[in-house]
Structure 1
């Protein structure tokens, strides 16, 4: 057995953590079958000094191992080593890695927040001297809303739109940068250009970001610490000795875009040789109210650069560049033009009548997603925006014809899953959903990169299982849970968008199905990563929220103004059914999730009792026991979501479940195998149909090509998931209707995580209709799981790779257990024939099964 994939706080070699007790994780690998970790030892050193030794700990745990030594020192690199023991008490070779602490309780020392009164985005700089051999240098900085940091004419980082967006009244993030190689002997200069972001938003909008409690002008806090080889330490902190001037970025807004006047550019402003005597002294400004914390989630980066697939001149002097994909980011231009020439770039997801459509009724003014570059006339000029991102496929170019290329921009989270199938539509859906989710990850999970850029809680609620199945979101979702806690009102209420300016407590609220993301996402993160610390950290806030929800229950039901948002035919808002049904069902589900979490950390609660009472309330109010249908007086017809949600959440009385499911399948068939769900029901419909034996109907819905369906979108030219089922969908990059991918991974490929950090999985490809093969490869916190199956005539072949520390329950399609051949040959079916499957329970190893009569 070997040990590898070492991480600290879910990250490989984090450069700056403020965690008091960092957690370690690793992955054990071994050939053959049945390998087990039985013990581990973790040792921590700083330089030549041993700081902590866990000793040999009898345990199979390979993640969430907390440091348990003396307090860690700020700004210090620590090395840690792990060794394991297997089932035969054989010791593995050691593996080592490192992490660095950030400022911790030391803070920013004498550095102060600075700014300056400028009419454009401020440039701030400070010259200083280096007088020796540098051993190490770190720049700790928070620029609000965003900071483009420079040192000696070079960018400090490849991160963009940094630091991450938070409720600045509660939390302000700072970032640690290794700048050792950017310093030089003698004269040096450090600088920053500041963008507005959400901190200094000045574009009026319906969500009132321009009136948030923290709203102020851009500002900077920075501390540069230089350690010399001879032991000396010098520092450069932000203070009134810094210099400031208005720079060439004339305006910037996340909604309207940027204007950059290259004639105002100051070449070399970020170098030591630049003369800043004409600049003003920086002004000391008030610190934001939020507590400073090290940023530990993945930064936003330019992750890909793509040329256009076409650039057409639609009329004289107007070109439209088509990048062939719907995404989030911006365009980079390269142009030669006369001084003062203004080149405009208007971004949009659609084109109509020879114009890119860039309209947003939620934001004041007629300028939406538009960048302007005013040329200096200095030859070949290159530029790209730095303080706003856009959602788009097309860019309309006016003023001059530059070369343009797409810069794809999102939080740089790792992909953990690869999927293939003989059915092209399934691969198409999975890839489109992945692109859609990534387009909506910019420090928080958003709804749309074009219109809102808001962290709608309901979107993340329904999308989280699919998102976690495809991407590593331990750090980003962990950060966003902190944003949820920060947004909580004294009453315990949560808003429908997080972070919030204060909007969403009354507007489109209460809407139980949205903020119940809090307990449900905590539960999903425990399933994916086994994270108990998050549960403990959020428990008190979570219970305050659930108490607020329970206190407003009326006649056994919860009230919601949103419900099953945007079903077919209702593109203006919620579905027509009584929204108390879904509201109460989601509260019931949230309470059961909280009950499991409370049991996990040993906190007393009565959530199961409250959930049972709510389930009774739903059944009394909406269940017609004679027909086996959930309905309300508001329903214009049979509503799939009203019936699939109670089935999915275990609310239907056991004796009626089969009948309710049969009615659901009948409705699907009567609609020509079409769905009739909005964002709440869409991700539940196919799994529920499959679970109750209607996998063929689920497959027909999934592969439908006419309205309403996913296939219909792609018939209309979609390459991402849309907000609405209609062909004129407002947003073309919206993941909450794309959760069919969860069913594809769990039922078509057949891989399901049963929780506690992938401790147990079920392999059961029970939606194989219209498909002859599928495979899924997933990197979990315990290691890589690989599943592939192929059907050739009446022979079904299945291979499952199970990592150390995981147990798999494998269901092989067969007419009887004797029709299955397994490798190793001694493996016997551990369950009797039922539902056309033979069941096996296996541990670590690569397992092959062949069924001759599937």
Structure 2
């Protein structure tokens, strides 16, 4: 951290806020034995630093009767482990923190927050897994004043839980999807307000999810090692004011019956027969004498673990933009946007009327297109509702979601009444971006929507077709996703899924979780599972999470050993490569895929070497990476021409050149020539790209880094095929899988990584060091843009960059949080053309390559350049 000028006093004292435990505000039911605390320190003025902290953990707000850390000299404000006596299960703890600044001034303690522990070793006690039907209920009574009540539950694949006729939470498609042979998630619900005096009923309706998926499909989800009928495990713990505790657990005393949901499937949809509905089944007073006794069923093999990532929720409800009767009795409802979720139906119809709702992203020949060549049968994304004939009936599915913009409605004579329900993991926005270039804002909105539509407990490839966690998609999209959203909990969960999916040999599949598919199918595909070390490193850079690195080190090194054992002649073999470049249909790129396979393994080894250094684990990853770079350059680099190519190339391949440049594989003396040839090819194509999913994210940053920012800008703003603009001129509101206008998926984020360039080069904000300790501010792609603003809520606090140009005068504002140092590059013809406020400033500004460079500590800084 740079020193302040003589006579300056840091603002203060420090105020801690945004207190989190394990990245969550008030987590209910954590199984982490030594949870980690974090906070954001703020202070007025400039140069504030945190020099010490004191954490108090108590049984009541503000108390320190459980643990008092004492004054700990440290600037760290996240990842700080609880270090007191062993925590008790099912217990709420309160905590607060106070901070000392650079002048050793202590501030007021933060407003206390809390966390609550889960079951730990207690587990579910006397509860057993039960099943036998999709509706289950248990009546019980209470006889006192309830102090608090917690329902611990796991329903596989999904459980819609009720207490006295009310939902126990607003989560849907819960619990999260895992490899059930390794991990099974349970959820804690605070049901204190739902328990009533006297008679009560706890109920559940079960859905299949990926646990009991039955429709034959190419990924073999219907034949997993765990495939079975749905089942339920619950433990309801009720504590009374007088100190008594009683429990209601799942066992054979529960009652079960078949409900109105006739079928549910993630690919085919749901059928609901309202004539079979049982009003009041989940409330006291209902006669369940005709129901059967629940059957005890086998427990899944996986270890029960508290769900820590954000639940899936209904995020938004959207009205249609158009409803058209395309032929008698057939209606197409257009919601004007592409989403993941489902529709809510309101209808008045005679008993037995079957209403079909077919969901899809496109319309052709008067029909919504709902075709999935990977799933058997002719029913895809179709819900069916059979009316009861009871005046106005309302229904929405609960155990499947669809990717769609349009819905084809059949079986009603009147104009259908339908609402779109937007459904995805409820992760928090981290970044807001704005600019005078409308296309860039359109890209940002589309990519954000696309990413969110593909977050359902795992990062999927498309909500319309597959719903699979393709590792390659997260590989290329990860940096953009982490920049855009708070994914600390989400990606921590999925990294656990990756570890669970690992074979004894160390190999990883191309989809995670997996049924077993993806080890020999589409394998080897090095560019895909090498997401493992890369994402671990990116998580550390974003959140400073060292525990995550330690937890995964053994699995990570086993995986890399498997990859290295298959290297031939210094190269890694791959069957996928730069997937879906323009002009090559729905398959791989034409070039030799060993080039990208080797490059991605090289980057994975560099990431692993960095991880090993951080956690103090010696390794040979750097040496192995250097050998791969030598093999790649020896085989594919034409040193005389300054071009990477293979014998399979039909023409110049941009990805083959952009990826080695981006990953630092190109020899230093040749890098400028390779970059110049790349820029020349882009220009020769009329400023079009020819990249697939691997090259698209690195092309524009590489061009900009080597001084071709205007070339990158022309590619970004291109409107003709292939380009992002071409999609939007075709009516896109999300990113597509393919560059062609007949793209089979129109909700696919792996070609939309242009947004990372918008954030880092147009707005000009880059994270350089773990946990945002050091940032670079350098707006170096300013062509066709008059202003840009980015605001990011980081693990240390808010960072913002805003610049505006009027004529040759550029104004730049930078907000730096406590604990972060910013290297600010102000566009200018000379250092004398730049004014910094406040001034005087510690240290002299330097000048290099068209930028005046400052290094600044925490505070709000303003720079004016008169020659930008």
TM-score by length of 2: 0.97
Secondary structure at the counterpart of residue 678 of structure 2: helix
1:377-776 superposed matches below 5 A: 377-400=389-412, 401=414, 402-776=416-790
CA deviation map 1:218-271 (0-9, x unaligned): 000000000000000000000000000000000000000000000000000001
* Residue in structure 2 matching 1:319, options 306, 312, 331: 331
CA deviation map 1:564-586 (0-9, x unaligned): 00000112211000000000000
* Cα distance in 1, alignment partners of residues 78 and 244 from structure 2: 38
Secondary structure at the counterpart of residue 700 of structure 1: helix
Contact 1:829 1:839 in 2 (8 A): no
1:276-425 superposed matches below 5 A: 276-400=288-412, 401=414, 402-425=416-439
Contact 1:595 1:607 in 2 (8 A): yes
Check if 1:228 corresponds to 2:243. no
* Residue in structure 1 matching 2:105, options 62, 80, 90: 90
Aligned to 2:66: 51
| 1:834 CA displacement | 1.6
CA deviation map 1:122-159 (0-9, x unaligned): 10000000110000000000000000000000011100
* Cα distance in 1, alignment partners of residues 605 and 397 from structure 2: 45
* Cα distance in 2, alignment partners of residues 760 and 456 from structure 1: 32
* Residue in structure 2 matching 1:107, options 104, 107, 123: 123
Contact 2:846 2:854 in 1 (8 A): no
Aligned to 1:800: 814
Check if 1:38 corresponds to 2:90. no
Aligned to 1:27: 40
Aligned to 2:26: 13
* Cα distance in 1, alignment partners of residues 818 and 354 from structure 2: 60
Check if 1:138 corresponds to 2:150. yes
Check if 1:832 corresponds to 2:849. no
Q: Number of aligned residue pairs: give it.
A: 850
Secondary structure at the counterpart of residue 537 of structure 1: helix
Specify every segment of 5 or more residues in structure 2 that has no aligned partner in the other structure, as ranges. Answer: 1-13
| 1:728 CA displacement | 0.5
Contact 1:702 1:740 in 2 (8 A): yes
| 1:672 CA displacement | 0.3
CA deviation map 1:10-51 (0-9, x unaligned): 000001100010000000011110000000011111247711
Secondary structure at the counterpart of residue 647 of structure 1: helix
* Residue in structure 2 matching 1:274, options 286, 293, 296: 286
Instruction: Give the aligned CA root-mean-square deviation in angstroms.
Output: 0.8
Contact 1:347 1:396 in 2 (8 A): yes
* Residue in structure 2 matching 1:158, options 144, 152, 170: 170
| 1:832 CA displacement | 3.0
Secondary structure at the counterpart of residue 669 of structure 2: helix
* Cα distance in 2, alignment partners of residues 54 and 616 from structure 1: 51
* Cα distance in 2, alignment partners of residues 552 and 632 from structure 1: 21
* Cα distance in 2, alignment partners of residues 793 and 335 from structure 1: 59
* Cα distance in 2, alignment partners of residues 276 and 49 from structure 1: 50
| 1:845 CA displacement | 0.3
Secondary structure at the counterpart of residue 711 of structure 1: helix
Check if 1:842 corresponds to 2:856. yes
Aligned to 1:818: 832
* Residue in structure 2 matching 1:4, options 2, 14, 17: 17
| 1:827 CA displacement | 2.4
Check if 1:852 corresponds to 2:866. yes
* Cα distance in 1, alignment partners of residues 725 and 522 from structure 2: 31
Secondary structure at the counterpart of residue 675 of structure 1: coil
TM-score by length of 1: 0.99
